[in-house]
Structure 1
Amino acid sequence: MTAEGEHQVNTKCQMDAGAKRNIMSFADLCEVVQDNDLKMKLSKVIGYDDKGIIVSPDDSTSASFCYTLPLISHLTESRQGQTDPSDVEMLQPTAPLSSAVLSKLENHCDCGKLPVLDNGSPDDKFISQNSIDVGQRVTYRCYPGYVFKEGSSRYITCKADSTWSPLNTACEPRNCGNPGEILNGYFNATSTTFGEQVTFYCDAGYRIVGRAYRICDRTGWDGQIPTCEPVECHRPGLIANAQIISGFGPIYKYQETIAYRCLEGFEMIGNSVIKCGENNVFVPPPPKCIPPVRCPQPELIANGQTISGFKATYGYRETITYACTDGYEMVGSNVIECSENNVFVPPPPMCQPPVTCADLPLISKGITPSPPNGNYWEYGMIAQYSCHNGNSLIGAETLVCTENGEWDKDPPTCKVVRCIRPESFLNGQIVAGFGPIYRYRHTITFRCNKGFEMVGKSVIECHENSTFVPPPPTCRPPANCGNPRKILNGYYNTSGTTIGSKAVFSCHKGYKVVGRSFQFCTTSGWNGRVPTCEIVRCHLPELPANGKIVAGFGPMYKYRDTITYSCNEGYEMIGNRIIECTENKAFVPSPPTCKPFTGCQRPDQLANGHIVTGFGPSYKHRETITYSCNEGYEMYGSDVIECSENNIFVPPPPTCRTFIKTWGKNVTLCRTR
C-alpha cells in the first residue's frame, strides 16, 4: 500500500529499467488534467515516476508542471485570453496525481483494437501494428467495389484518454449509374450498384447484336453496350409446283409477307401467306404443293357405325366420325382425318366389349346386389349391399367396378351391433339420438349447459364392437370468456379473457358512459350488461350581467358546441368571449364577466430607457406597452407589460441598470519555471 495522497502508477508504457522514466508530451498530459478554457500548449517533455510524481526526463530543475490557479476575479476584458504565465505566482505542483487523473493516464500509449468497418478495413500499414500511440491518426479504405459514403470522414484518432474517436463513415456499394442507352431497345435493372446485372432488350422488329447484359464491377459497367439491328428475312427456297404472287424480295423486313399459289392440278398443304418473324425466319413455314389428296373410304368397323362423313373418297382434311354399338366401348379416336399422304390419321377406332368385374360373393345375414342388366357388372357400375333386420352393415356399403375389372373395396359383413346410452352427462344434455339402444353407426349429439365448455367431440358414433367412438365428451367451466362485446362510440381495455379478468369500458371524446363501466369474466361468461356511450350535452350557463350571447343560443349544447359573448356598451370583457362544451358536460373556460371600463394610465417615464410601442396615454384591457433600455444599460424585469382587468399594468414596468462584467472561475494553467 502507498501513503495517503499517493497512487501507484501501473501503465502499459512503464519501462523495465528504474533509471528510465515513461515519456509523454507535456501538452498531452495537460490536456488530460485540465478542465478549463485557458490552456497553454508547451513543447517540453515530462515523465512520471513510480509514485506518480511529475518530473523531467533529463533535468528536474527545469521540469514543466501543471499548476492550479485560485479564483481569478476582476479580470479585465483587455487581458482576457492574453495572460502571461510569468504574471501568475507559481504554486505547488499537482503531484502526487489524483486517482481520477491516473485513471485517465492508465492506457495513454495504446488505444487498443481498431474499430471494424463493414466492407472496408484500415490501410495496410496499420493492420500489422500492435499498438497505436496517442494522437496518431489511422486512415481506412473500402474494399474493391465499395466507396466511402459522401461527406463522411475516412480516419479516426487515438485520443488522450486512450479511446478512439468515432468512426463516422460507411462503405457503400459503388453505383455504376446508367449502363448506356440502346437505340431501338431498352434495359431492365433492379439496381445499378456493385455486383448487379442489367439486361438489354430490343423493340419488336429488331434483334440484339452483342452480349445482352452488363455487370457493375469495381471499375464500372463491364463489356460493351449491345446494338439493336432491324430484323431481316431472306426469301425461302423455291417451292415445287408453286409460284409467288406477292412479296418478291429477296430481302424482307419485319412482318413483311410472301403470298403463294399452287400450279393448276396441285393442292396446297399449309398457309398461303407467310410473314417475316422476329427471329429472322418466316412463320409459319412455307407451304407445299402436292398432287390432289384422295383418301379411300376405310372398311366398316366391327360393332360400330359411321355417323358423319359418308363418301366414297375424301379430300385433304375431310373427316369421318364413328360411334360404337350399345354395350361396346371405343378404343381410339371417334374422328379421323384425311392426311396429305392419302391415308386417314389417326387410323379408324375399334369397338370392344366393355370391361367387367367378377360376380360379388354372398354375405351372411345380408343381401348381395345383382347387376342392373342381369348379366354382368360393367366398368363404372355401383353395387350396394344391405343387411337383414336386426343386423348392422360393417364395412363399405357400396363397391365400384374399376377400369381394370376389379372392385374398389372388399365386400362388407352383417352382424348384430348394440350400443348402450352412456351414463348421465354432467353439466350438459343430449340433443339428438336419445336411444337408449343404438345400432351400428347410430350417433348421439351432446350440448353443454350455458357457462360450460365442451372437452371432446359433440357427436359420438356406435361402432362394430358395440362401443361409442370417440368416447362421450365432458362439460367444464370455461377457462376463457373470449372478447367482451364491442361498445358503439367507445372501446374497452382488459387484463385478459380468463376467469377473474376485468374489462373496463370507456367512451370516445364527446361521449359519456351510461351504465356500469366494467365487467368480470366468470364461469358464466362476462357478467352484467355492456354499457352504452351517449353524446355529452351541456346546459346553457347563466347570462353574465351587462353582457349578451351573440352566437350559440342553446338551451342544450352537444360536445364541442360553443357560445360567443359580447359586453354591453361601456363595459369591457374579463375572460374569453368564446366558451366550449367539453366532455365533462361543463363549458370551458368559464363564461366571461362584463365590468365597467375605466382602463389603465401610462406609467411614469422609465429612467435610462424608453417606450418602443404603446404610447397611450390611456389603455384598454389587455393592451400592452413595450420598453427598451438605453445603450450601456440592461433591463431587469419584462420588456412587455399589459393592462389587466384591475386597471393596472401586469407585470410592473421594468428598470434599466448599468451593465457590469465579472469573472470568477477556477482554471488550470501550464507554466514552465
Structure 2
Amino acid sequence: MELVDLSRFIMDLTSVRLLLIVGLVVAAQAQNCTKPVAGANMGLSDKDILLDSFPNGAVASFTCNVGFMSAGGSPSVTCVDGSWSPVKLTCQIKSCGSAGEIANGHIDYSQGIDFGAEAVAVCNTGYDLVGKPELVCGDKGWMGRLPTCEVITCGLPRGIENGDFHPKKEDYYEFSEVIQFVCQKTYSLRGSKSLTCSEGRVFKPDPPECITQNCTKPVAGANMGLSDKDILLDSFPNGTVASFTCNVGFMPAGGSPSVTCVDGSWSPVKLTCQIKSCGSAGEIANGYIDYSQGIDFGAEAVAVCNTGYDLVGKPELVCGDKGWMGRLPTCEVITCGLPRGIENGDFHPKKEDYYEFSEVIQFVCQKTYSLRGSKSSTCSEGRVFKPDPPECIIVNCEEPVIDFGKWVAGSRPPYKHLASVTLECDTGYDMVGERTQTS
C-alpha cells in the first residue's frame, strides 16, 4: 500500500471513531419523560396510568373518559428527548338522543340529552305515572325503564245519610266525571252538591251533608260585623234575617245589609263597606302637612314647619271615624334672645330685644387679645346662636431661637400679640426664610 493511501485510511478510521464517540454522547444525553398531561375529558390508558417515567422513544396512549367518545386524532403521544409530542386526540360528550315515546304523556328534556343529563317522564292530565319518572343519560344510553301513563279512574263514592247521588255506575268513574248529590225532603245540603273524579283517584271535594231547617252564625264580609241584635246568637232558625253593619272607620258603599237563612244556608252577603276618608286637615301658615300615609281612616298626618319656624303644638293628626283627631298646630317664627358677651371682647350688631332666625353677629377682641373660636355666630334652630361664642385670649410667644443666628432688632420679651423681631445669621451662614418674624 502506498504511503498516501495509508494516510487516507488512518484519517477515515479516526473519523469513524469520532462519529461513534459523538453518537454515544448523544445517546447518553437522551432524557426520559414524566407522565404526559391529558387533554380535556380523557385519561391515560390502563397500561400507562401507573407509570411515572417513560424512556425516550416510549409511546403512551390516551382514552376518552366515561361518557365521552373519540372525535378524531391519534390517541398516542411519543417521548422525544424528555418532551411529549402534542396530544392530537379530541373527546366529545356522548348524546343519548331520544329516550322513546310515552303514550298519554311526554318526556321533559330540560337538562338536555347529553351524558349525565336527567330526563323526567310527565303524564298528561287525567293519567297517573306508573314507574320511576327519572331517566339518566349514561355511558351506553338512557338508564332506567321507561314508565307508562295509566288513565285515572275513581272507585264508587260513598253515599251520604238522608241523601243520594247520580249518575250511578257498577265499577268505576272516569277522570273528570262529575256526580251530583241531592238531599231528601225536609233536609238541606251543606257543602258542594257536585264532586269530580280527580288526581289521586278520589272524588273532590269531600261529599256534602244533608242536615235539618237551622243556620250557624253568618260569615261577615270585609270590614263589617253582625249588628248588636244578632252578634250573641250561635244558631238561627230557617227564615231568620240577620243584619251586618260596617266597622268603625268604614261606611256602606251599597248593597243590602241583610242576609236570610234558607234551609241551613245564608243568602249571599251583598253589603260592601268602604274605608272613610278624612280629606284635608287644613292649612298651616309657614308650614305644611305631610300626608305620606294617606288621608284614609287610621292614617297619620304630620305637621311640618318651614325652615326658620318652630312648631307649636303636637305635630301628629290621626284620621278617625269622624275626621282628623287632634288640634292643628301652628308655626312660629324662630328668634334668639340676646347673646352673652365675651370677656375682653364685644360683638355687633347689637339689638335691644331679639334677633331673627339666620341673623349673624360678629365678635371682635380688644387690642393685645386674640380671638380663639368662630368670629361669627348665627341664630339657629332651638332659638340659640351657633356655634358657641369664641374667647379673647392673650397671646405670648417664646423667645425666638435660631441656630447660628441672633436677634438684631425689634421687640423684647415678653412677646405679645403682633410683636416682631428681626434676626440675622452668624458669619459664614446664609438665612433661609424671612428675617423678620411676627407673633
TM-score by length of 1: 0.35
Task: Name the counterpart of 1:284.
Answer: 205
Distance 1:380 1:343 in 2: 38
Matched AA of 2:33? C
Which whole-Å deviations, capped at 9, do the CAs of 1:606-646 have from their partners, x for residues lacking one?
A: xxxxxxxxxxxxxxxxxxxxxxxxxxxxxxxxxxxxxxxxx
Task: Name the counterpart of 2:93.
Answer: 173
Distance 1:185 1:300 in 2: 52
2:316 maps to 1:399:
yes
After TM superposition, give the deviation of residue 182 of structure 1 in Å. 1.4
| 1:393 counterpart SS class | strand
Distance 2:261 2:29 in 1: 98
Distance 1:249 1:439 in 2: 95
| 1:221 counterpart SS class | strand
Percent of paired sites with the same residue:
22
After TM superposition, give the deviation of residue 416 of structure 1 in Å. 1.9
Task: Name the counterpart of 1:322.
Answer: 245
2:149 maps to 1:256:
no
Distance 2:189 2:169 in 1: 19
After TM superposition, give the deviation of residue 232 of structure 1 in Å. 0.4
Change (3 A) 1:168 1:305: same
After TM superposition, give the deviation of residue 238 of structure 1 in Å. 0.8
Change (3 A) 1:340 1:233: farther
Which whole-Å deviations, capped at 9, do the CAs of 1:477-511 have from their partners, x for residues lacking one?
A: xxxxxxxxxxxxxxxxxxxxxxxxxxxxxxxxxxx
After TM superposition, give the deviation of residue 276 of structure 1 in Å. 1.4
Change (3 A) 1:174 1:398: same
Task: Name the counterpart of 2:368.
Answer: none
After TM superposition, give the deviation of residue 200 of structure 1 in Å. 0.6
Change (3 A) 1:213 1:178: same
- Counterpart contact for 2:72–2:90, Cα < 8 Å: no
Which whole-Å deviations, capped at 9, do the CAs of 1:252-283 have from their partners, x for residues lacking one?
A: 11122212222112112233332212331223
- Counterpart contact for 1:233–1:253, Cα < 8 Å: yes
- Counterpart contact for 2:230–2:242, Cα < 8 Å: no
Change (3 A) 1:314 1:384: farther
2:160 maps to 1:243:
no
Q: Counterparts of 1:388-537 in structure 2 under 5 Å?
A: 392-393=309-310, 398-401=315-318, 415-416=334-335, 464=381
After TM superposition, give the deviation of residue 315 of structure 1 in Å. 5.3
Change (3 A) 1:295 1:147: closer
Q: Counterparts of 1:18-29 in structure 2 under 5 Å?
A: none
Among residues 138, 144, 151, which one is paired with 1:217 in the alignment? 138
Which whole-Å deviations, capped at 9, do the CAs of 1:285-309 have from their partners, x for residues lacking one?
A: 332222233469999845x999xxx
After TM superposition, give the deviation of residue 380 of structure 1 in Å. 4.3
Matched AA of 1:207? D
Distance 1:210 1:151 in 2: 40
Which whole-Å deviations, capped at 9, do the CAs of 1:293-340 have from their partners, x for residues lacking one?
A: 3469999845x999xxxxx95559x8632136xxx558xxx9797789
Change (3 A) 1:187 1:466: farther
Matched AA of 2:309? S
Change (3 A) 1:394 1:276: same
Task: Name the counterpart of 1:526.
Answer: none
Which whole-Å deviations, capped at 9, do the CAs of 1:170-221 have from their partners, x for residues lacking one?
A: 3443333322321211111121222221111011221101111112234433
Which whole-Å deviations, capped at 9, do the CAs of 1:452-478 have from their partners, x for residues lacking one?
A: xxxxxxxxxx9637789xxxxxxxxxx
Matched AA of 1:185? G
- Counterpart contact for 1:295–1:315, Cα < 8 Å: no
Task: Name the counterpart of 1:234.
Answer: 155
Change (3 A) 1:234 1:438: farther
TM-score by length of 2: 0.52
- Counterpart contact for 1:146–1:171, Cα < 8 Å: no
Q: Counterparts of 1:534-553 in structure 2 under 5 Å?
A: none
Structure 2 regions of 5+ residues with no counterpart? 1-11, 220-224, 251-255, 268-285, 290-296, 338-354, 359-378, 388-439
Structure 1 regions of 5+ residues with no counterpart? 1-88, 307-311, 346-365, 370-377, 419-436, 441-461, 469-673
Change (3 A) 1:337 1:149: farther
- Counterpart contact for 1:246–1:260, Cα < 8 Å: no
Change (3 A) 1:416 1:119: same
- Counterpart contact for 1:305–1:323, Cα < 8 Å: no
- Counterpart contact for 1:248–1:258, Cα < 8 Å: no
Among residues 106, 112, 124, which one is paired with 1:186 in the alignment? 106
2:28 maps to 1:116:
no
Task: Name the counterpart of 2:53.
Answer: 131
Matched AA of 1:228? C
Change (3 A) 1:158 1:247: same
2:87 maps to 1:164:
no
Q: Counterparts of 1:80-91 in structure 2 under 5 Å?
A: none
After TM superposition, give the deviation of residue 230 of structure 1 in Å. 0.5
Change (3 A) 1:242 1:344: closer
Instruction: State the superposition RMSD in angstroms.
Output: 5.5
- Counterpart contact for 2:195–2:206, Cα < 8 Å: yes
- Counterpart contact for 2:122–2:133, Cα < 8 Å: yes
| 1:126 counterpart SS class | helix
Change (3 A) 1:279 1:320: farther
- Counterpart contact for 1:295–1:338, Cα < 8 Å: no
Matched AA of 1:232? T
Distance 2:90 2:258 in 1: 74
After TM superposition, give the deviation of residue 164 of structure 1 in Å. 1.8
- Counterpart contact for 1:297–1:313, Cα < 8 Å: no
Distance 2:312 2:64 in 1: 76
2:64 maps to 1:142:
yes
2:192 maps to 1:275:
no
| 1:401 counterpart SS class | strand
Matched AA of 1:393? D
- Counterpart contact for 2:152–2:175, Cα < 8 Å: yes
Distance 1:128 1:411 in 2: 92
Change (3 A) 1:339 1:115: farther
After TM superposition, give the deviation of residue 146 of structure 1 in Å. 2.7
- Counterpart contact for 1:207–1:228, Cα < 8 Å: yes
Distance 2:129 2:51 in 1: 54
| 1:228 counterpart SS class | strand
Task: Name the counterpart of 1:155.
Answer: 76
Aligned length: 296
Distance 1:384 1:104 in 2: 99
Matched AA of 2:93? P
Distance 1:343 1:243 in 2: 19
Change (3 A) 1:259 1:380: closer
Task: Name the counterpart of 1:505.
Answer: none
- Counterpart contact for 1:382–1:400, Cα < 8 Å: yes
